Structure 1
Amino acid sequence: MRKILFLLLFSYTISVQAQWLRADSIFARMKSVADWQWKTLEKDGWKNPRKDWTSGAMYTGMMAFAGLNKTDVYYQKLIQVGEDNKWQIGRHRHFADDYCVGQLYSQLYSIYKRPEYIADFKSLADSVVILPHTESLEWKKNIQLREWAWCDALFMGPPALAYLSQATGDMKYLDKASELWWKSTAYLYDKKEHLFYRDSRYFDKREKNGTKVFWARGNGWVIAGLVRVLANMPQNHPDYKRFVKLYKDMSRRLAKLQQEDGTWHASLLDPESYPSKETSGTGFIAYAIAWGVNNDLLPLTKYESTLNKAWAALSTSVHDDGKLGYVQAQGAAPDKVGYDDTDVYGVGAFLLAGTELFKLKISQGSRLRLKIDQ
């Protein structure tokens, strides 16, 4: 009797997962989350400035989702953000968090070719590429206002410069992004663990179980930023193979650290201290791995289960009204999180992951139809 009940439960679970993993279901889930977020911002106002890194991270997912729609309604919402911002970046000119929004401006410029979209960001980027960047990345003297001294910056800064190169055709921005990426990596990357410390304050800290402190969302920032650089990097670029190796090493390591619930808990090496699901880190990691599968850098056979479990976990974290839950609050280290916790950057991660999973399922369906036709 127990065996029959187990088989029934197992079959039900597989059936439910299969429903979540259909392309139409993925799209519908993304739309509900995107629409809830815009309605909430319009109703309750913006908790953080529209130029803030939190908002900038949300825009990355909104841009990805906008590209899947047959109308430009979501592009128009993002253009309105730019208009409200007067197409300016944040006030700390060399602080990566304050020019994360440059990703949005550059991507919109690539579509609409309006010079005002990138004028302010390009002015900042032109100053970034000529600075020497010779300071130590030790966390002191507000180093974060001048250098990429914390792992989150690798999502905020390098992709912004890379997308500007794609938009303008000028490789100097991508080249600078690569140079500074490897400076940060040399300082923050643990070659043995294939993971990034958040910043130098965490080099000697330990979790309750004695392991090193590696934050899920922090490493999600890194690997998501990495693929956004790769998406704009020609394969003949001198650093392309280095980026691909780092990407594959991190993907292998992160896949092994996925929990049974399908997510990456807040602490990668001490998941039991933070036993809840966490959707922002999970979204960014799933996005990066799915992007690699879609771009033939990772084998689907090895990572399909990882992605399916991750999307099932993300999907079941969405409330009935479209609110995304289990988003760890703003911070710099692992922390507790609950079903009702949300923030805009988590939505960005969710939409990035969903967009790549949607493309993957469409591609799988196309291959299946081709096989049937033959």
Structure 2
Amino acid sequence: MKRNLALFTALVLVISGTTNAQSAKTVSAFKNWPAGSAPKQIGNRIASRFIATPHTNFNRPGPPRVITYPETCTWYGALTFAKATGNKKFTQQLVARFEPLLGSRDTLVPIPDHVDYTVFGSVPFELYMQTKDARYLKLGKHFADKQWGPPEGKRVTAESHRFYNKGLTWQTRLWIDDMFMITAVQSQAYRATGDRTYIDKAADEMVFYLDSLQQSNGLFYHAPDVPYFWGRGDGWMAVGMSELLRSLPKDNPNRPRIMQGYKKMMATLLKYQAEDGMWRQLIDDPASWKETSCTGMFTCAFITGVKEGWLDEKVYGPAARKAWLSLIRYINADGDISGVCEGTNKKNDHQYYLDRKRITGDLHGQAPLLWCATALLR
């Protein structure tokens, strides 16, 4: 009986999308786009570019050893965009891109022993929800379950056991990037299965990160020992919170705490938005360069908050519109966005963040474009 109820619940959640987005309202700021700037047009360009691009390796020459997390994030964005626009051709192409990973090229599938690898599970979960192919569900669950399982593998440290014994994932490391990597796959696991355990655990994890890393101004240090408000790092947190909140059940006891942290961050981001709508590599440093991946992530968080009714439409709607219209000016004729900060480890050095290379076409920047387009169309 319990099994039948669980299956029924999962079916209902899959049909409904398991998100509050089904009732998302129409926003005046998100209508009447100038020629060439509509979300569907931009999303089509970026998704087409991704589909035509071979597996990438952090802008290094040659193919990757395994699928990288920026590719995972872009793949997920392309799939959700295809769903939002009803583009069956895109969905079929994205399925075809994945099929070799279930056979001849299965060595490209990461081992889920680190947040950057475990987030890969969000893609097969999305494929399952769109195709109902049970192979994708099995693979997605393997990734989501390993995140909460006991520590194992070569990456295990004493801290892994300490966090695991506190009821957190053993992959916890207190880098703000984690709060997209963990919440994305676990929110997807909930959407695909209807099992609240996944998203409830992710909410517990989010509160731990909020309590550990959010500062009094609402922004986040890259890590406890790195006191800088790095744009994309904070971007992962902004999108991670909004992605979690749009599916987190209303009766989850952590929801008010996460919403409070989210709104506090959004209010501060509004203050630091540049006149042209962009945000900077170091959010609070006016001498820092304008960076596109964080701008895309913050824009997505604003759009989601406005459409879900969490943020004041009259304040955040125009801010999101301005950001989108500024952001897409960085897209070149090939469908690649410029001004993307290269992959960045943590370092307690202000100049280190300012000196990071600015890349064109990096998937760290392509993914948020697709997230924004999907959020605007959802």
Partner of 2:121: 102
1:286 alignment partner AA: T
| 2:48 aligned with 1:35 | yes
Q: Alpha-carbon deviation of 1:127? A: 4.0
| 2:301 aligned with 1:288 | yes
Alpha-carbon contact 2:340-2:360 (below 8 Å) kept: yes
Q: Alpha-carbon deviation of 1:305? A: 2.4
Which ranges in structure 1 are unaligned for 5 or more consecutive residues?
A: 1-16, 138-143, 204-212, 360-374
TM-score normalized by the length of structure 1: 0.78
In 2 relative to 1, CA 307–26 (structure 1 residues): closer, same or farther, beyond 3 Å?
A: same
1:71 alignment partner AA: N
TM-score normalized by the length of structure 2: 0.77
Matches of 1:19 and 1:103 in 2, distance apart? 32
Matches of 2:162 and 2:372 in 1, distance apart? 35
Partner of 1:325: 338
Matches of 1:99 and 1:35 in 2, distance apart? 25
2:218 alignment partner AA: H
Map residues 239-250 of structure 1 onto 2, 5 A cutoff.
239-250=254-265
158, 162, 166: which one aligns with 1:135: 162
Deviations 1:201-226 (A, max 9, x none): 304xxxxxxxxx10111111011011
71, 85, 89: which one aligns with 2:87: 71
**Identical-residue share of aligned pairs (%):** 25
Partner of 2:275: 260
Alpha-carbon contact 2:67-2:110 (below 8 Å) kept: no
Partner of 1:84: 100
| 2:241 aligned with 1:233 | no
Output the aligned Cα RMSD: 3.1
2:133 alignment partner AA: R
Map residues 59-208 of structure 1 onto 2, 5 A cutoff.
59-86=75-102, 90-131=109-150, 135=162, 146-190=171-215, 192-203=216-227
Q: Alpha-carbon deviation of 1:118? A: 2.6
Matches of 1:254 and 1:31 in 2, distance apart? 28
In 2 relative to 1, CA 24–335 (structure 1 residues): closer, same or farther, beyond 3 Å?
A: closer
In 2 relative to 1, CA 94–42 (structure 1 residues): closer, same or farther, beyond 3 Å?
A: closer
Residue 318 of structure 2 aligns to a residue whose secondary structure is helix
Alpha-carbon contact 1:148-1:154 (below 8 Å) kept: no
Matches of 1:340 and 1:134 in 2, distance apart? 37
- The list of structure 1 runs, each at least 4 consecutive aligned residues, that deviate by more than 6 angstroms after superposition, is 42-46
In 2 relative to 1, CA 25–146 (structure 1 residues): closer, same or farther, beyond 3 Å?
A: closer
Deviations 1:83-135 (A, max 9, x none): 23229785442311101111111122122222210323313433433549663
Matches of 2:263 and 2:297 in 1, distance apart? 15
Which ranges in structure 2 are unaligned for 5 or more consecutive residues?
A: 1-29, 152-159, 347-352
Partner of 2:292: 279
Q: Alpha-carbon deviation of 1:343? A: 0.7
Residue 364 of structure 2 aligns to a residue whose secondary structure is helix
Structure 1 or 2, whichever has the larger Rg, is 1
| 2:234 aligned with 1:219 | yes
| More deviation, 113-122/39-48 | 39-48
Alpha-carbon contact 1:93-1:99 (below 8 Å) kept: yes
Matches of 2:301 and 2:212 in 1, distance apart? 22
Count of residue correspondences: 326
2:333 alignment partner AA: D
